Amino acid sequence: MISRTCIPLFFLLLATQGMAAASEAEESGDWAIVLGTSLKTLEQAPNNQEARKSAWRAAMHLGLFDQAAALNAPLDAKEQRAMEGDQIALAIRHGTIDRNTLRGPERFFRLNSALTVTNALAADFLAGQTPDAEDLRRLTDRISGLAASRRAAEAVALYEAFIARGLPVPLWTKRDVAGSYLELRKPRHSASLYQEVVAANPDDFDANLGLFYALVEMEELDAASAHIDAFAARLPERRNRDGKYNGERLSSDITADQARLYSDRLQEAQELNRARRSSAPYNSEARQTSASLALARGWPNLGEQLLRRVEGADPKNPAIHADLAETRLSLQNWPAAQASMVQANALDAEHGAVKRANLTFDLHNRYELSVEAGFGKGDGGASYFGNSDWRVDTYLYSRPLADNWRIFFHNYTTAADFDGSKTDWIRSGLGVEWRWLNWRLSSEVNGGSNESAGLAGTARWKPDDYWTVSASAESRTNDIPLRAVRDGITASQTSVSVDWRAHESRKLSVGTAFYDFSDGNQRSAINAAWQERWHSSPRWMFETTLGADASHNTLETGFSYFNPKNDHSVWLTPAIEHLGWRNYEYSFRHRLALTMGRYWQMENDLEPGNISAIEYTQRWELDRDLSLRYGIGRSLRPYDGVREARNFGSLSVLWRF
């Protein structure tokens, strides 16, 4: 037996043996063994400061910074500061995990708490204080924390202060602040930093995806597609460890599908997404891309259905609720749209998708001004249009009233000069519009041009994503030749049209109209058109429109306006459009259209004549609340056997204020 007097010596011997084993493990870098051995020694000899310090070193190497602090090891000032800095870094990493895994405001609690610790240090640094090595480490961790907590402006300001003073910045910090530049809509700065990170670490998943989005926002869409395609191809489809599908490869493949969507290669995007959904039918990323694709192709009902499925799988994702809100707004489902917007804001009002949706709602709730104007100059007073003519059609809408209603003011003014004799037609009206789900109805009371008050009404019904049925009726139509107006003639008009829109690249339409002139003439007209987009890419678009129309008039004599008994025409308009530049909501496009056709006037043995026209237009998107389009052109076509030329121009403005 061991005598009572020998017990302290016995424990001292065990502690000495334990520390020797810990020392050997520390030399070999096996910090888990060092920690275990040192803690066992402390159980036997709690006052062994060497064991306490050894356990602290092991815990620090293993990243167990909070556990290291709890050991109360004997530390000098430098070691104490290093440990506190490691605790800050760990808290930021844990906070970043919370941001990526939690939903709602609580996802930023730990990050903001960790950043509070270095508030004073950052203020001193920005005021010009010279930092030591430990201060620099804490400040670079702060940049990452600010970026993760979406305090992008602060992250960039601190990073640029480092650069201005020639201080080194780690690559991982550059990767994080690159995301902040992107959030601040500075994609060129972002791309430069991501490229630096990818050059040093080609397999960095976050940096490669970040570079893709930076290139997209720089409008370098072909480069973005090439980059994400190459990165995805490098990733194995299966994980080496367990053979399961590689999640990073699937995310990269889905991002590559989105690249086609952003590039207006929607058919290719759909084919890729269909294959993706087949191999991963329950993947939320693939489902969300399917919804985005449906919306881009003009299928909002399908888009809503797909978003609802994604919402069921990820009910706390603010971006899904924001997308649902915008989609339901476009479907005129006001209560559902508002409910989705409330949910999105409750989850994360600062999320990019939520902020975009809030702006969409703000635009919807504004006044709206729409102006369509045109002018023309003909060959002379004997021409159909006169020496010169112009028109302005203006609608001013109120904000929504009780969700479904808007009041509007309407003014239509047109005039023409017939060899010095001016004729004008001016009508102003007040109306109300009702919008709900598939329906849009309007009614208007108008008057002017020394004519009696008139009534006008329109109806539009969209039963699904493909069909649109429209109808209108006017007791005093504005669609009347000014030569008829000059003779004191008025007309009423009714029309019906049906459109079938397969997707963004194909549309078929047919319409008919009936006019009842006050001089006894009755005119019936029919038209049909097929519009097809043959090529679409990030910068260029090419489409054609093939159309045909015909009319019949009952009055054969006693009129001065163009009024053929029977006529018809066919025409083809190829058009090419180019995106000159785009910077987020600002863009410039221009378009050239050529029209070629044939016209037949079936009376008086008139020979058929050719139709030709050329038109060049420019379109500006000046933020989301203002768009401007204008153009000039020249047309040639026969009237009563005489081929007339006309130069013309157009202007269109849409402003929400």
Q: Do domains 4-74 and 431-656 have the same CATH topology?
A: no
Q: Under a CB-based contact definition with an 8 Å cutoff, are residues 545 and 573 in contact? A: yes
Residue with tokens 């008057």: 447
Q: What is the largest CA-CA distance in the chain?
A: 139
Q: Under a CB-based contact definition with an 8 Å cutoff, are residues 54 and 26 in contact? A: yes
H or E element, residue 503: strand 491-503
Pick from 15-29, 430-444, 554-568: least confident: 15-29
Task: Count the alpha carbons within 13 Å of 463 in the hemisphere toward its beta carbon.
Answer: 5
| Residue type, position 329, single letter | L
Q: What gap in Å lies between CA 594 and CA 600, rounded to an integer?
A: 20
Q: What gap in Å lies between CA 294 and CA 297, rounded to an integer?
A: 5
Instruction: Name which of 410, 412, 480, 489 is nearest 451 in CA terms.
Output: 489
pLDDT 10s digits, 285-314: 899 999 999 999 999 999 999 999 999 988
pLDDT of residue 23: 65
pLDDT 10s digits, 210-219: 999 999 999 9
CATH 3.30.1490 fits domain 431-656: no
**Where are the chain's structural domains?**
4-74, 431-656
Residues in the chain, overall count? 657
Beta strands in 251-400 (DSSP E): 368-377, 388-397
The alpha-helical segments, DSSP class H, found in 132-279 are 133-148, 152-164, 171-183, 187-200, 205-217, 221-234, 247-262, 266-279
Q: What gap in Å lies between CA 466 and CA 505, rounded to an integer?
A: 12
For the 4-74 domain, the top CATH level (class) is mainly alpha
pLDDT at 379 over 80: no
pLDDT at 11 over 60: no
Average pLDDT rounded to a whole number, residues 458-484: 97
pLDDT 10s digits, 497-533: 999 999 999 999 999 999 999 999 999 999 999 999 9
